[in-house]
Structure 1
Amino acid sequence: MASMGTTGTANGGSALLWSGIMELAGLEESKIITVDIQNPVWNPQDQKLQAVHPSTLCLFQGDTLDPDLVTTISAAAATKRVVMVTLDSGHNMEHVLKEMEKYCPLVTVGAYCIVEDTKMSRWHSTGPLMAVKAFLEKHREFESDRSRELMYTHHSMGYLKRIK
């Protein structure tokens, strides 16, 4: 069984993709747990999203840094053999670093935390890439896996593999 946590649901395209991949791979007991600050009930796309993959998708509304929400997601992840995380909500260094501190410990050895949109740091110095660099300085259990970038990516250095 696998679990994937995503932050920044927006219209749910990534959650739908990952959920479909899990089902096609025969991982029906897997869970895609996705969080957005906006209530899913307000967004008709989110309602459709949950209807497409009701067994693998779990939508939460709230602040990704809310301690109660982090506890709930951590408890769900603790029951899974493989846990992967993607972070794509706030895009400033402080927020991304806080999310990394909360959610990266859930990632299992050999799996990834993908920090999305690190390319935004090209335009300002306080973006996700700076958070990745600061995180990696303190957390030797992760390394940036540049082999996952394949020619072009919006997530340079953002594929963080848990190695221990």
Structure 2
Amino acid sequence: MKDFNKETENRILEISKNQRLNQITAEFMRESTLPKYSYTFSWLSRPIIQYPQDIVAVQELIWQIRPDLIIETGIAHGGSLVLSASMLALLDMCDAIATGQMIDPKVSHRRVLGIDIDIRKHNQIALEAHPMYSRIQMIEGSSIEPNIIAQVHSIASNYQKILVCLDSNHTHAHVLAELEAYAPLTSIGSYCIVFDTVIEDLPDEMFPDRPWGKGNNPKTAVWEFLKTHSEFEIDKTIQHKLLITVAPDGFLKRRY
């Protein structure tokens, strides 16, 4: 495996230098955005609204980090919550095999915490009926309101390994506020993933009915945040490997 991993590192480096391949994938991102390509996928029956490459990246990071808590802003249909919960269930299962002790999901310490300003009733009902729901907790309210931030920090204080995913309102101001509020909860060696940074790389006319666009989006918020938070760095190897991702410059690894 050591040789294979080294070969993989070299492949990723070569891919990052392949201008033609990167041009093609950038074109694909532009052409696939308007027809809402990412809306065609689901995870364990719940719409996930993510590109398959980003789904793979998230599961790789969860397996690598083995978090106790995953914090997600933005719930929508709940597919991402179910993805995270199912990965945590796999971690529990592997721990059970290793120790010879079965873990009841209702008492497992591993949880997914989702925050959304509007948890629609039909989505809530579907999630509450889902087999993974015992590992999911949801809070309704703006992710940048002080009382919501306080609730999340209170819950997070009971956990050691934390992964953070930000995917709600995509304006610069909102994402920057989320970063200031939740990125510090990221455990050392873990990640704060900021989705939809790709908005900065897409034509501005793609978002005529949205409050975000070029110069006002998650990527500009990441760049601003990193000016005063050297404990985080962009892990570009992930976007170089994925090629197709909505989160270029959005995989932030906490170094210390």
TM-score (structure 1 length as normaliser): 0.93
1:160 aligns with 2:252: yes
Give 1:50's aligned residue: 128
User: Which portions of structure 1, spanning 4 or more consecutive aligned residues, are displaced by more than 6 angstroms?
Assistant: none
Structure 1 residue runs of 5 or longer lacking an equivalent are: none
What secondary structure sits across from 2:184 in the alignment? helix
Give 1:103's aligned residue: 182
Deviation at 1:148, TM superposition (A): 1.6
Aligned pairs for 1:11-26 (under 5 A) are: 11-26=77-92
Deviation at 1:139, TM superposition (A): 0.2
Instruction: Report the structure, 1 or 2, having the larger helix content.
Output: 2
Aligned pairs for 1:1-164 (under 5 A) are: 2-26=68-92, 28-38=108-118, 40=119, 42-52=120-130, 53-122=132-201, 123=204, 124-149=214-239, 150=241, 151-164=243-256
String of CA shifts for 1:94-136, please: whole Å, max 9, x gaps: 1100110000111110011000000011231111100000111
String of CA shifts for 1:1-36, please: whole Å, max 9, x gaps: 610110011111101111111111217421100011
Deviation at 1:79, TM superposition (A): 1.1
Instruction: Report the structure, 1 or 2, having the larger strand content.
Output: 1
Structure 2 residue runs of 5 or longer lacking an equivalent are: 1-66, 94-107, 205-213
Contact 1:50 1:58 in 2 (8 A): no
Deviation at 1:48, TM superposition (A): 1.7
Q: Separation in 2 of the partners of 1:2 and 1:51? A: 23
Q: Separation in 1 of the partners of 2:198 and 2:115? A: 22
Q: Separation in 2 of the partners of 1:50 and 1:104? A: 28
Larger mean Cα displacement after TM superposition, 4-13 or 119-128: 119-128
Contact 2:76 2:123 in 1 (8 A): no
Q: Separation in 2 of the partners of 1:139 and 1:50? A: 37
What secondary structure sits across from 1:79 in the alignment? coil
Letter in 2 for 1:104: A
What secondary structure sits across from 1:32 in the alignment? strand
Query: Aligned pairs, how many?
Result: 162
What secondary structure sits across from 1:25 in the alignment? helix
Deviation at 1:72, TM superposition (A): 1.0
What secondary structure sits across from 1:6 in the alignment? strand
Q: Percent identity?
A: 31
